[in-house]
């Protein structure tokens, strides 16, 4: 089968590109090396819809951030992805940092960000009573928001698949032959062919570019460590609280999440490789110290987990979205670091335009449906809805994850629905089962049983996150 377009990488960039392409009469295949979608930077980031004041004016980042905010809110509504416009605050601590607030305000204006306000420390504390007394000046950006990055990626892939896109998982691109299009071979020897190729491989985009002899950039992996706090701390602040950014990034933030937790982080440190996923004592100590600088009353005894995400930075600091000068039809969509989540729909549309200029014919489908049915999260239902769901399907009355009140019905749905959950972590990302205080200590065995039943496989073959991570060795 020769596809019209192959997409490398099912992170939020590839997912949104797939969804945008699914509007047209095209055959599209999304290739992902992991056992699930959203396994790279798109599963471990701050989940902030950035207000657009930070990128250097005139860059592609600044343009797509500004365009992307509204497009992202629109897509989230269509896909039923929880998203909240909670506004953000950038805080200066004393006279030395205050000029940076004015600079960011001016930069925001240049980037086309309309509604921003400069507040005194006291004015900001009226809106956010738990802010530190040491904060003297604040940039307030009401358009900023919070979103769940993996929910968005999963929903975008699901919607693209419902509109005809094919997803191949465990397909690690190993070789690309450029003959009348692209013949792509995986590490397992599987082959697919495509007329056009979008390289959305995140931290591995430079390696994929090298496969066609066009590695003109190097991805510099930079890790960010986080602490996630229990819902008891979720209302410590209502805005996303930033500090004045530095060369290293946007600094340590304190933010509520859409699911009601409190998130503190990230650090910024160069790491040896793109697959880095460790947290360190040193990194977490920085997170704790700097988060407490903004919001001193955060109770760090409520930390339920910590994690690391890896940014795919590049030395010039901008997104790279362009057609290869060596191979027509191969589009680099690389160095999509922050604010890549905010910009994802704008990035996808920009890449599609390049495909069009390169000759890809875009004929709209008559029956394209950009909406996706909401997941039936038991914890969000009122009593009448719960009653109706349990009557229609008694598995909704059986609670599997007690920390997050996730029912068996939801888990079975997640295993059946596009893109199907195949392992414990993919059930976790789709349903929140295992995301609460006990971090899956109680529900994991039951989740494994449900996966085994639904997929018709023995329990020993159920994995945490793909081959080699099976928790059970065999029967005694």
Ligand X SMILES: Cc1cc2nc3c(=O)[nH]c(=O)nc-3n(C[C@H](O)[C@H](O)[C@H](O)COP(=O)(O)OP(=O)(O)OC[C@H]3O[C@@H](n4cnc5c(N)ncnc54)[C@H](O)[C@@H]3O)c2cc1C
Residues that bind ligand X (CB under 6 A): 8-14, 31-34, 39-42, 45-48, 50, 172-173, 200-204, 208, 224, 266, 309-311, 336-342
DSSP E strands in 276-369: the ranges are: 303-313, 320-323, 330-334
* Pairwise CA distance, residues 49 & 343, whole Å: 9
Q: How far is the CB of 249 from ligand X (least distance, A)?
A: 8
Name every residue whose Cβ is closer than 8 Å to that of residue 432 and which is 6 or more positions away in sequence: 259, 377, 379, 401, 404, 406
Cβ proximity to ligand X, 279 vs 342, nearer residue: 342
Q: Cα separations (Å) of 337 from 2, 27, 311? A: 31, 28, 5
Q: Which residues are catalytic?
A: 50
Cβ proximity to ligand X, 177 vs 460, nearer residue: 177
DSSP, collapsed to helix, strand or coil, labels residue 303 as: strand
Using an 8 Å Cβ cutoff, are 357 and 100 in contact? no
Q: How far is the CB of 263 from ligand X (least distance, A)?
A: 9
Cβ proximity to ligand X, 339 vs 419, nearer residue: 339
Cβ proximity to ligand X, 14 vs 329, nearer residue: 14
Name every residue whose Cβ is closer than 8 Å to that of residue 36 and which is 6 or more positions away in sequence: 169, 419, 421, 422, 423, 425, 426, 429, 465, 466
Q: Is 213 left (phi over 0), alpha (psi -120 to 50) or beta?
A: left
Structure-block tokens of residue 444: 């994991």
Name every residue whose Cβ is closer than 8 Å to that of residue 136 and which is 6 or more positions away in sequence: 92, 93, 94, 95, 97, 98, 120, 121
DSSP, collapsed to helix, strand or coil, labels residue 81 as: coil
Q: How far is the CB of 251 from ligand X (least distance, A)?
A: 12
Q: How far is the CB of 236 from ligand X (least distance, A)?
A: 18
Structure-block tokens of residue 386: 């719960």
Q: How far is the CB of 124 from ligand X (least distance, A)?
A: 21
Cβ proximity to ligand X, 139 vs 448, nearer residue: 139
Cβ proximity to ligand X, 296 vs 317, nearer residue: 317
- By beta carbon distance, the residue nearest ligand X is 340
Using an 8 Å Cβ cutoff, are 197 and 308 in contact? no
């Amino acid at each position: 089968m020769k596809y019209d377009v192959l997409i490398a990488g099912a992170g939020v960039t590839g997912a949104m590109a797939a969804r945008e392409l699914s509007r047209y009469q095209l055959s599209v295949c999304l290739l992902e090396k992991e056992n699930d979608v959203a396994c790279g930077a798109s599963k471990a980031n701050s989940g902030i819809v950035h207000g657009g004041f930070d990128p250097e004016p005139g860059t592609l980042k600044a343009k797509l951030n500004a365009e992307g905010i509204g497009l992202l809110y629109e897509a989230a509504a269509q896909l039923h992805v929880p998203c909240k416009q909670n506004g953000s605050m950038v805080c200066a601590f004393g006279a030395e940092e205050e000029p940076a607030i004015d600079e960011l305000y001016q930069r925001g204006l240049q980037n086309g960000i309309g509604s921003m306000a400069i507040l005194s420390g006291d004015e900001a504390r009226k809106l956010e009573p738990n802010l530190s007394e040491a904060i003297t000046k604040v940039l307030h950006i009401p358009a900023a928001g919070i979103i769940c990055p993996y929910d968005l990626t999963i929903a975008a892939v699901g919607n693209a698949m419902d509109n005809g896109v094919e997803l191949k998982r465990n397909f690690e691109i190993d070789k690309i032959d450029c003959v009348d299009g692209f013949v792509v071979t995986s590490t397992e020897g599987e082959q697919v062919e495509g007329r056009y190729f979008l390289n959305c491989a995140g931290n591995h985009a430079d390696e994929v570019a090298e496969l066609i002899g066009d590695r003109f950039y190097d991805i510099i992996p930079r890790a960010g460590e986080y602490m996630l706090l229990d819902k008891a701390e979720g209302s410590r602040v209502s805005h996303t609280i930033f500090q004045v950014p530095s060369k290293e990034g946007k600094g340590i933030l304190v933010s509520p999440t859409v699911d009601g937790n409190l998130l503190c982080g990230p650090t910024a440190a160069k790491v040896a490789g793109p697959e880095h996923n460790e947290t360190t004592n040193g990194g977490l100590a920085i997170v704790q110290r700097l988060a407490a600088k903004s919001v001193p009353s955060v109770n760090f005894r409520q930390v339920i987990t910590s994690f690391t995400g890896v940014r795919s930075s590049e030395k010039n600091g901008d997104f790279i979205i362009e057609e290869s000068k060596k191979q027509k039809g191969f589009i680099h969509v690389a160095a999509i670091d922050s604010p890549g989540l905010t910009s994802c729909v704008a990035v996808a549309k920009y890449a599609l335009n390049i495909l069009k200029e390169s000759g890809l014919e875009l004929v709209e489908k008559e029956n394209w449906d950009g909406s996706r049915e909401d997941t039936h999260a038991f914890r969000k239902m009122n009593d009448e809805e719960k009653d109706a769901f349990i009557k229609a399907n008694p598995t909704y009355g059986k609670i599997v994850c007690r920390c997050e009140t996730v029912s068996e019905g939801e888990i079975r749905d997640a295993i059946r629905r596009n893109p199907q959950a195949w392992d414990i972590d993919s059930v976790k990302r789709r349903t929140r089962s295992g995301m609460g205080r006990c971090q899956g200590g109680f529900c994991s065995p039951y989740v494994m049983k449900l996966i085994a039943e639904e997929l018709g496989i023995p329990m020993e073959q159920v994995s945490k996150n793909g081959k080699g991570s099976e928790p059970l060795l065999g029967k005694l």
